[in-house]
Chain A
Amino acid sequence: MSNIILIGANHKTALVELREKLSFTSDEVLSALEKLKQDPNIKESLIFSTCNRTEVLYIPETGDQIDHMIKFISRHKNINISEFKRSLYIYTEDDAIRHLFQVASSLDSMVVGEPQILGQIKQAYRVAVRENSSGVLLNRLMHKSFSIAKKVRKETGIGDNAVSISYAAIELANKIFSDLSQKTVMLLGAGEMAELAVEHLISNKVEKILVANRTFKNAVELAEKFNGQPVKFEERHDVLDQVDIIISSTGATEYVMTHDEVKKAMKKRHHNTLFFIDIAVPRDIDPDINSISNAYVYDIDDLKNIVESNIEQRGKETIKAERYIEEAVVKFRKWLEGLSIVPTIKAMNQKITQIVKIECDKTLSGMKHLSQADIDAIQRMTQAIATRTIHDPIRFLRNTGNHRDDSLYLNVIHQLFNLDIREKK
């Protein structure tokens, strides 16, 4: 019975310095897989490494080979075992399967539900297949992890809600404006958060970015960075008819936009929608502006509230996702058990005996003239044929060892004979 083992470290167990040391570049993955393939102790292996995790998934030839694998990582990454051993998690059997499914479904991610992880795992799998380091077991396990990840994404709302302030702001912008690529953003002040929000907006490709700052020089610098246009801070009201989204993060102690100023500007802009994102503390944007028709103001607390309720929602969805994963683990376990030799021989035997019996009965029922002794003789003969037919395949299966990949042959036999001890699709 093959063992499935997963060794790794992620953002929960290791600090970023350690994660950096443990992470494999794509070239390092190639050379590591190459070595593992030649390693007589390792049957199948696969490595995935992102900025938040490094994990090695493998099937040992005998035993669990955990110390062997830890030594291998230490050698390959040139890092002392004592330095990283405490940060490792080691999962075997069902726990390894479950962990892989959780990672693929983005339940183990730093931002739960983020969609990139599945692509990264698929990439790791492609590399392992190309390098021929994965085999029947890991291939099937990986495919199962893709399908469970898809199911979790489809059936639960895990990826639905923005769980960071800047994403929440972008999401709101997307529900206010239909096409951000035709909208202009004005940045008031230059806090770090504001820059982050703008970076997200740029990845959503807005039409134009204006930057206003009390120190005009800073505005010019920031505008250059975002490929935008600097505006004098005193002009900020005059350009209200050109912008649609205003992100404010100045250190001012008074409002830099007041209700009356915006009300006046709304007329000039024919009451086209204005969206204020105020991430400054104390606030920059007069909250009364929200009462103006077609103007929306969200301050940092409003955004935090949304994020918190989204996180809560995500927690509920996680429970649902865990249930799907548990089901998938049980299914995979069944398939694995089906791959062991004795049930396979039994199933093969049963199938061929059944076929012979059915056909024999069918024929004999039309031959009433035969005596009971004749019938017995014919039945004995057909059973003997059946037994002899599968004698060699069974002997082949029983004769394990010699570094032969049993799971491969078992899988082939299941498919050739269409045996139903394996999990039904």
Chain B
Amino acid sequence: MSLQMADIALQSATFFYFISMVGYSLFLFKQKPGFQKTSFGFIIAAIGLHALSMIVYVWATGDVPIQNLAQSLSLAAFSLGCMFLFFQYQFDLKILGLFVSVLISVIMLMVLAIPEVPVQGNAVLKSVWVYAHIFLVFTGDAALALASGAGILYLLQEKGIKSKHPGFFFKRLPSLDLLDSVGYNCLSTGFALLTVGLVTGFVYAKAIWGQFWSWDPKEVFSVGTWLVYAALLHLRFRSGWRGRRSAIMTIIGFFIILFTFIGVNMLLGGHHQGFTK
């Protein structure tokens, strides 16, 4: 009964994400503020329903909803939504909503399309450390995804200005400076969250398996991702890697995250496997 409720809430949330995506697309083309406001309202409602769905799930089963691939993806979409609200509040970069609503809608479609996998409670996943680890890594990845969104917008705007034919996007996107600084803020926030998230992961690994590091493929790729972002931030400070280069790097970084998040489990296995069954 309660699980059914969680499903219904999740489906309604997906529906709302879709409406929001349509609204943001209309906003891109028509540039009417009403579309943006309505879409923003829908995305907030969708995130609310999404949260409700997870709360009901936790209440009904006593587990956090990251027991299988569908649940992990759903949580990733939810984190993305929350991080979007946070950065929208900070920077008022309205058109980022289009990127976010499209990305979330795609993820949620996958969530609903993936056949249900029976869930057995996993004792490994019951500890404050694990919750902290999941929370930090998911929000960190979400912020880095937003950074890549800002990067895409930056490249679109930059291409028009550089080629001296400011076209479709010129009016519709904000200044390069703003896009760059939004990207940078998402990047540094995401990096900080990811750093602490990895540390909590190691601490927990020590507690449960007796060692910090076990050459698990996911561990290796996570640290690899972390190094890529660390290098990017370093280059930005030391050698002025800003603007276009930084934008391209954040987009590449996001693909690495995608691989670490899903690809590693699919192809290489490891102790994060339960996630993606």
Which of B166, B175, B244 contacts A294 (CB under 8 A)? B244
Whether B178 lies near A294 (C-beta < 8 A) is no
Q: Closest Cβ of chain A: how far from B167's Cβ, in Å?
A: 9
Per the bound structure, the CA–CA distance linking A252 and B130 in Å amounts to 68
Report Cα–Cα, A296/B161, bound state, in Å. Answer: 8
Cβ-defined contact, A179 with B177, below 8 A: yes
- Of B56-64, B136-144, B235-243, which binds chain A? B235-243
Give residues 149-180 of A contacting B (CB, 8 Å).
160, 172, 174-179
Overall SS of chain B's interface: helix
Chain B residues with CB under 8 A of A176:
161, 175-177
How many Å lie between the Cα of A65 and that of B173 in the bound state?
A: 54
Whether A271 pairs with B161 at a CB distance below 8 angstroms is no
Residue A290, interface by CB 8 Å: yes
A309 (CB) vs chain B CBs: closest residue: B165
A174 to B240, CA, bound (A): 22
Nearest CB to that of A183 among chain B residues? B177
Check if A94 is an interface residue, CB within 8 A of chain B: no
Is A270's beta carbon under 8 Å from chain B?
yes
B176, A273: Cβ atoms closer than 8 Å:
yes
* Interface residues in B188-210 (C-beta closer than 8 Å to A): none
Smallest distance from the beta carbon of A423 to chain B beta carbons, Å? 26
Query: Which residue in chain B gives the minimum CB-CB distance to A303?
Result: B164
Query: Taking the complex as formed, is A293 at the interface, i.e. its CB lies under 8 A from any CB of chain B?
Result: yes
Tell me, in angstroms, the Cα distance from A174 to B165 when the chains sit together: 16
| B181 with A178: CB separation less than 8 A | yes
Q: Are B161 and A172 in touch, CB under 8 angstroms?
A: yes
Say if the beta carbon of A322 comes within 8 Å of chain B.
no
Task: Please measure, in the bound complex, the distance between the C-alpha atom of A306 and the C-alpha atom of B244, giving whole angstroms.
Answer: 23
Is residue A226 within 8 Å, beta carbon to beta carbon, of the partner chain?
Answer: no
Judged by a CB distance under 8 angstroms, whether A305 is at the interface is: yes
Q: Mark B97-128, 1 if CB is under 8 A from A, else 0.
A: 00000000000000000000000000000000
B162 close to A296 (CB less than 8 A): yes
Inter-chain pairs besides A175-B170, A177-B176, 10 sampled, C-beta below 8 Å: A160-B171, A174-B175, A175-B175, A176-B175, A176-B176, A178-B177, A271-B241, A273-B176, A294-B242, A294-B244
- Most chain-B Cβ atoms within 10 A of its Cβ — which of A174, A179, A271? A271
> Which residues 337-366 of A sit at the B interface, judged by CB distance below 8 A?
none
Does B234 belong to the interface (CB within 8 Å)?
no
Contact residues in B for A293 (Cβ distance below 8 Å) = 243-245
In the complex, whether B71 has a CB less than 8 A from a CB of chain A is: no
In the bound assembly, the distance between CA atoms of A267 and B239 in angstroms comes to 8
Please give me the residue from chain B that is nearest to A310 by CB atom: B166
Contact B243 A271 (CB under 8 A): yes
**B274 — which chain A residues lie within 8 A by C-beta?**
none
Q: Is B157 in the interface zone, CB < 8 Å from A? A: yes
With contacts A273-B243, A294-B242, A306-B166 taken as known, whether A177 is within 8 angstroms of B175 at the C-beta atoms is: yes
Shortest C-beta distance, B37 to chain A (Å), equals 15
Residues of A within 8 A of B165 (CB): 305
The residue of chain A having its C-beta at the shortest distance from the C-beta of B178 within the complex is: A178
Which chain A residues border B162 with CB–CB below 8 Å?
Answer: 290, 296
Enumerate chain B residues within 8 angstroms of A72, measured Cβ to Cβ: none
- List the A side residues contacting B242 at CB < 8 Å: 270-272, 294
A155 to chain B: closest residue by CB: B32
Q: Chain B, 239-259, contact with A by CB distance < 8 Å: what is the 0/1 string? A: 111111100000000000000
B270 within 8 A of A: no
Asked if A91 is at the interface (CB within 8 A of a chain B CB), the reply is: no
A175 B176 Cβ-Cβ under 8 A: yes
Q: B217 on the interface (CB 8 Å rule)?
A: no
CB neighbours (8 Å) of A172 from chain B are 161, 166
B40 to chain A, nearest CB (A): 20
Which residues of A356-406 have CB atoms within 8 Å of chain B's CB atoms? Answer: none
A231 nearest CB across to chain B (Å):
24
Rounded to whole Å, the gap between the CB of A174 and the closest CB of chain B is 6
Contacts of B157 in A (CB 8 A): 175
Quick one: closest A residue to B177, CB to CB? A178
Residue B48 CB within 8 A of the other chain = no
| Given A176-B176, A302-B164; A270-B171 close (CB under 8 Å) | no
Complex contact A298–B240 (CB within 8 A): no
- Chain B neighbourhood of A175, CB < 8 A: 157, 161, 166, 170, 173-176
Minimum distance in angstroms from A111 CB to a CB of chain B = 18
Name the CB-closest residue of B to A266.
B240
A305 and B181 CA atoms in complex are apart in Å by 30
Q: Within residues 140 to 161 of chain B, which ones have a CB less than 8 A from any CB in chain A?
A: 157, 161
A391 to B222, CA, bound (A): 91
* B245: min CB distance to chain A, Å: 7
The CA-CA distance from A179 to B180 in the complex, in Å, is 13
Rounded to whole Å, the gap between the CB of B184 and the closest CB of chain A is 12
Interfacial chain B residues near A178, Cβ < 8 Å: 174-175, 177-178, 181
Residues 268-299 of A, flagged 1 when their CB comes within 8 A of B and 0 if not, give 01111100000000000000001001101010
Instruction: Known contacts A270-B240, A271-B240; decide if A298 and B164 are in contact (CB<8 Å).
Output: yes
Most chain B beta-carbon neighbours within 10 Å: one of A290, A294, A306: A294
Residues of the A chain whose Cβ atoms lie less than 8 Å from the Cβ of B178: 178
A272–B164 Cα distance when bound, in Å, is 19
Q: A246 vs B11: C-alpha distance in the bound complex, in angstroms?
A: 54
| A160–B168 alpha-carbon span in the complex (Å) | 13
Inter-chain contacts of B173 with A (CB < 8 A): 175
In the assembled complex, which residues on chain B have CB atoms less than 8 Å from the CB atom of A273?
Answer: 176-177, 243
Of all A-B residue pairs in the complex, the 5 with the closest CB atoms, nearest first, are A271-B240, A270-B240, A178-B177, A178-B178, A178-B175
